[in-house]
Amino acid sequence: MRTGASDPKKLLLTTRVVVAPETYAFVGLADSEWKRLIEDPALSPRMSAPFMIFRDSHEVTLLLDEVDFGTMRHALRSAKVERGFRLLTFDTVMDFSVVGFLATVATILAEAGVSIVALSSFSRDSILVKQDDLANALKALGPHVEELC
């Protein structure tokens, strides 16, 4: 773990924020719709593009770039869809002892009036912000991070 990693504000100061060039759609669908979707390999996300699948007891949630969403759109009949997100990844590897990192990020952005969707992979945290809020998000995060790219 990096020096200062126990303090989320210090860790954030050593972190690069990488903005993905793609625009994303966030999709919520019923289990039955998900089963129909995965039966057709032509509707699968491209393995070269970032995507996320999360299934809980209520629904299946997909994060897809606009290209993959366009491929699947006709099959997502009753899905809830929210489009126009940008993906910001905090490019620092964190272990599971880090406490409050996303809370710190969320507080900074809440104070700037920017709504987020928080996502985590095994070793990095990311957020989704609406395209219209991207400039405000970057302006708010700028003083608190090592680099925006």
For residue range 17-37, list pLDDT tens digits in order: 999 999 999 999 998 888 888
Tell me: do 88 and 144 sit in the same domain: yes
pLDDT band of residue 5 (cuts 50, 70, 90) is low
What domain count does the chain have? Answer: 2
Mean pLDDT (the chain, rounded): 91
Tell me: do 50 and 96 sit in the same domain: no
Q: What is the CATH number of the domain that holds 116?
A: 3.30.2130.10
Say if residues 112 and 35 touch (Cβ distance below 8 Å). Answer: no
Q: Is the pLDDT of residue 1 over 60?
A: no
pLDDT digits (tens, 9 = 90+) for 77-131: 889 999 999 999 999 988 888 999 999 999 999 999 999 999 999 989 999 999 9
Tell me: do 101 and 60 sit in the same domain: no
Tell me: do 91 and 140 sit in the same domain: yes
CA angle 36, 41, 42 (to 5 degrees): 100
* Beta strand ranges found along 2-148 (DSSP E): 16-19, 24-29, 52-55, 60-65, 80-91, 117-120, 125-130, 147-148
Say if residues 137 and 85 touch (Cβ distance below 8 Å). Answer: no
